[in-house]
């Protein structure tokens, strides 16, 4: 559980994929059966350097050194050394990382690489401004505290902006779905989630039933 004082500014992102060659449209090796480059699965940059600079500037332009950044996985790509290169370019001192499927070097703690982060987890919760967030790299259909209005934030699926909200209080916070390819302010997420219904992706989920005595 991550508990943060209400006076701290908190930001969240996911799937930065720093230095990921194939996700960069100008240099990708990915192709559709007809030979064309998949525009829906790639970012509109000509070079990796251009993409990396946009990622870094998108973070540093809003997240200050004394703010808190929560990253929901797939931090970097293209080799072990890029983890530190990317981390060193982010001015924020406090970064909490939720491991994604491409964070194998960090998961194995190669050369104590986890020391670059304030915390490293596969899954955790965040308490912030009386709200509880369930943080996981992968989207889930039903989560702890769903019936209490807990908010599920995830990455992994690289949804476009128009599809970033799941059913109820669920959201893909990856950079690809952000309107300006940036990071999300937790205060903005709280406002966006406030009026969303408490519902589940499951057709029959007793956590959303209005029954007495349900505790989990």
User: In CATH, what number is assigned to the domain containing residue 197?
Assistant: 3.60.21.10
Task: Identify the domain containing residue 46 by its residue range.
Answer: 8-201
pLDDT in tens, the chain (216 residues): 898 887 899 999 999 999 999 999 999 999 999 999 999 999 999 999 999 999 999 999 999 999 999 999 999 998 999 999 999 999 999 999 999 999 999 999 999 999 999 999 999 999 999 999 999 999 999 999 999 999 999 999 999 999 999 999 999 999 999 999 999 999 999 999 999 999 887 767 776 765 444 444
CB 165 within 8 A of CB 174: no
What are the strands, taking DSSP E only, across 5-92? 10-13, 68-71
Q: How many domains does the chain have?
A: 1
Whether residue 207 is contained in a domain is answered as: no
Whether residue 109 is contained in a domain is answered as: yes
pLDDT digits (tens, 9 = 90+) for 68-90: 999 999 999 989 999 999 999 99
Interhelix angle 48-60/81-89, nearest 10 degrees: 40
Residues contacting 138, CB < 8 A, separation 6+: 154, 155, 156
Whether residue 211 is contained in a domain is answered as: no
- Identify the DSSP state of 168: S
Whether residue 49 is contained in a domain is answered as: yes
Whether residue 216 is contained in a domain is answered as: no
Alpha-helix runs per DSSP H in the chain: 48-60, 81-89, 104-107, 186-193
Residue 97 CA, distance from chain mean position: 9
Whether residue 126 is contained in a domain is answered as: yes
What is the C-alpha separation between 22 and 41, in angstroms, rounded?
A: 9
pLDDT digits (tens, 9 = 90+) for 19-32: 999 999 999 999 99
């Amino acid at each position: 559980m991550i508990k943060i004082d209400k006076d701290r500014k908190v930001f969240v992102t996911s799937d930065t994929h720093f230095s990921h060659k194939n996700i960069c449209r100008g240099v990708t090796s990915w192709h559709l059966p007809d030979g064309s480059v998949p525009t829906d699965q790639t970012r509109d940059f000509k070079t990796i350097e251009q993409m990396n600079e946009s990622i870094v500037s998108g973070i540093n332009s809003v997240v200050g050194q004394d703010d808190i950044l929560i990253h929901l996985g797939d931090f970097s790509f293209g080799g072990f050394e890029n983890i530190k290169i990317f981390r060193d370019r982010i001015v924020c001192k406090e970064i909490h990382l939720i491991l994604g499927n491409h964070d194998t070097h960090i998961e194995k703690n190669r050369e104590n690489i986890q020391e670059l982060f304030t915390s490293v987890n596969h899954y955790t919760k965040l308490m912030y401004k009386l709200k509880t967030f369930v943080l996981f790299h992968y989207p889930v259909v039903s989560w702890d505290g769903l019936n209490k209005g807990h908010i599920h934030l995830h990455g992994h699926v690289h949804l476009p902006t128009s599809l970033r909200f799941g059913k109820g209080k669920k959201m893909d916070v990856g950079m690809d779905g952000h309107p300006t390819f940036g990071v999300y302010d937790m205060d903005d997420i709280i406002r966006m989630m406030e009026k969303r219904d408490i519902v589940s992706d499951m057709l029959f989920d007793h956590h959303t039933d209005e029954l007495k005595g349900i505790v989990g």
